[in-house]
Amino acid sequence: MKYAFKLLCAAAIALGLAGCIAAPVELTTQTETRLKAQAPVRFLLTYDDGPSASSFWNPSATVLDSLKVNPVQPDIKAVFFVQTRAPRAGNSEIGRSIMRREHAEGHILGFHTATHWHTNHRLLDPQELEQSLTNGTADIAAITGAAPILLRPPFWNYDKRTFAAYQQHGLHVLLTDLSANDGKIWGFNASPRRRANMLRQLSEVRERIALGEFPTVDGVIPVVVTFHDLNRYTARHTREYLQILLDSAAATGVRLADKPFYDDHAALQKAALARTVEQSSEPVQLPGIWNWIWDHDAH
């Protein structure tokens, strides 16, 4: 199963490199009219798999620097879904110092994993999953002073059993609307089709916004975007990715709020909670190939 999954991911990367990203969905007059009745969009940035434990040009620290100072909007806040027990992530002094910085700078620490590896929770037996959730929430609480309330399962994958375990720990599942497809797989660390990828995905999300499928929170529609702060390419291009999101919105007819990104911790948390999955049976829409991977296997 693990080998097949890796092959699937490698195939997806190969397709992306070959340029096989579909063109943006055409903006019709009907969709344009419907969009005018909807609130403007604000991007809700999330980062998975960190923090980096690297002592050489730490990518997580670089992401934080770029969110704080950039030409688009200063002091952007994000949700960091962390791996608290991975030795090359949060189970290191450097990793813990990064998490302390994330909290101090007003970002949100969400739970991702508390296992040695980036393990699908569905592969853990009940005791292992319980131990992981207990350890992870305690690790984050030791830094922030409170247990986390947001969780993103590895690979966005869960089932009734794991979802029930999350609920018992007061954890709410936040998935994503847009993915930079920047996960570090087999050492691959680039994204030559990053603009085409975001354009296509945002045009698909725009169609759902026009149909009223997204909630409005404090006058804006939160659209969740996923990156990986362990990825050095992502870290180097964080400021460019911010501009790509703005350019993609303009190109697809998506109206943005005056502040296109969240810069307040409380507002960010409120918006994230409004976008969480309420029941394990709730149909979800993941970007790209992920729906196809999990469609008949999860939820």
Other Cβ atoms less than 10 A from the Cβ of 193: the count is 18
The CA distance from 299 to 282, in Å, is 7
Nearest to 14 by CA among 258, 263, 222, 181: 181
| Structural tokens at position 214 | 């997204």
Q: Kindly give, in sequence order, each residue whose CB lies less than 8 Å from that of residue 92, ignoring residues fewer than 6 positions away.
A: 53
Other Cβ atoms less than 10 A from the Cβ of 283: the count is 9
Beta bridge partners of 251: none
pLDDT of residue 15: 47
Contact 158, 298 (CB under 8 A): yes
In degrees and rounded to multiples of 5, residue 260 shows phi and psi of -75, -10
pLDDT of residue 188: 58
pLDDT of residue 114: 97
The CA distance from 288 to 196, in Å, is 12
Q: Kindly give, in sequence order, each residue whose CB lies less than 8 Å from that of residue 176, ignoring residues fewer than 6 positions away.
A: 46, 152, 156, 224, 225, 226, 286, 287
* CB-based burial label for 86 (10 Å; 0-12, 13-18, 19+): buried
pLDDT of residue 286: 87
pTM, full prediction:
0.91
The CA distance from 129 to 162, in Å, is 8
pLDDT of residue 87: 94
Q: Which helix (H) or strand (E) holds 48?
A: strand 41-48
Q: Is the peptide bond before 51 cis (omega within 30 degrees of 0)?
A: yes
Residue owning tokens 């999955």: 277
Nearest to 143 by CA among 116, 166, 113, 111: 111
Residue segments in the chain with a per-residue pLDDT below the cut of 70: 1-20, 183-192, 295-299
Contact 178, 225 (CB under 8 A): yes
* CB-based burial label for 123 (10 Å; 0-12, 13-18, 19+): middle
The CA distance from 257 to 78, in Å, is 17
| Structural tokens at position 203 | 């045009």
pLDDT of residue 298: 55
Nearest to 166 by CA among 182, 147, 180: 147
